[in-house]
Amino acid sequence: MRRLSARALARPLVLAAAATAIPLGSAAPASADSVVVGGFPVEVADSPWTVALSSRDRFGGTRAGQFCGGVAVGRTTVLTAAHCLGEEVLGSPPDQVEDLKVIAGRTDLLSDEGQEVRVSAVWVNPAHDDADNSGDFAVLTLSEALPAGSVVGMAAEGDPAYTPDTQALVYGWGDASGAGDYANGLRAARVRVLPDASCERAYPGSDEGRYLASSMLCAGEDAGGRDACQGDSGGPLVAQGRLIGLVSWGSGCGRPGSPGVYTRVSSLLQTLGWDAPTAATKGQREGV
């Protein structure tokens, strides 16, 4: 299923309103150690650029109103998934959600550690296509700067981090089992960058979406298992210390033959006209 809590029927991977999960249908069952979807607990200090999107008005006070993930690519610039900011998720245009915030420096959503920063501006990719899930990214500008060291570098076109079989980590506070077990603490899962040909076979084009190698990448394992899931949309996929993807969509969570699909960071850099080393600065200067 798409992750709209965030993967819904073909799964864009958002959390449902009022902290209720969208049913996952035939989601893969969790293994005894729960390392099917959610992976393992991590401290946000080890990935300080991993942030949570929050609206208590829309999603309730439980788990601090978290509904999607994001990643800091500049001290006042956060990338996330475009579908996280749709009216069907937020109930209104994002610029009308008065309590839209980014939570940074917080491992456990039930704690008060870190900071909650108001989002001062939202830019959603106007080319985002709900039909095939392409162009699934947005840029958030924060009202105050995150601490130094809270930013991750981005992998440009040709970076070896995109090479198939490269090991990567996906981070989030989403469903840790594929059965609606949302994590309070940050988790990560080890996945493998898969060849485009495998992803094209998995998603040749249907109601779920279509894999487009020019703007997407996929990661997981052939046998299924570790994967992003509901509530993880917009979160980071990192390989060799660089951001290569944003959690976007897929079919189910952890299903064999249905890997997670991510927005390819090199493609969004080209769309935004950003150079990877200076992307955040350029984005802030141009107001994107």
Choose among 47, 6, 43: nearest CA to 24. 6
Q: Cβ(228)–Cβ(172) under 8 Å? A: yes
Choose among 175, 181, 168: nearest CA to 262. 168
Residue 77: beta bridge partners?
A: 74, 141
Active-site entry in 55, 233, 258, 266 = 233
Q: What is the rounded CA–CA span in Å between residue 8 and residue 15? A: 10
Choose among 15, 136, 161, 149: nearest CA to 79. 136
Chain-centre distance for alpha carbon 277 = 21
Q: What is the rounded CA–CA span in Å between residue 58 and residue 282? A: 32
For residue 112, what are its two tokens? 């008060």
- Residue that the structure tokens 């949302």 belong to: 182
Residue 17: beta bridge partners?
A: none
Chain-centre distance for alpha carbon 50 = 10
Active-site entry in 83, 108, 150, 267 = 83
Three-class SS state of 19: helix
Active-site entry in 136, 159, 175, 232 = 136
Q: What is the DSSP string of 36-85?
A: TTS-EE--GGGSTTEEEEE-HHHH-SGGGGEEEEEEEEETTEEEE-GGGG
Tell me, yes or no, if 83 is annotated catalytic. Answer: yes
* Residues acting as catalytic residues: 83, 136, 233
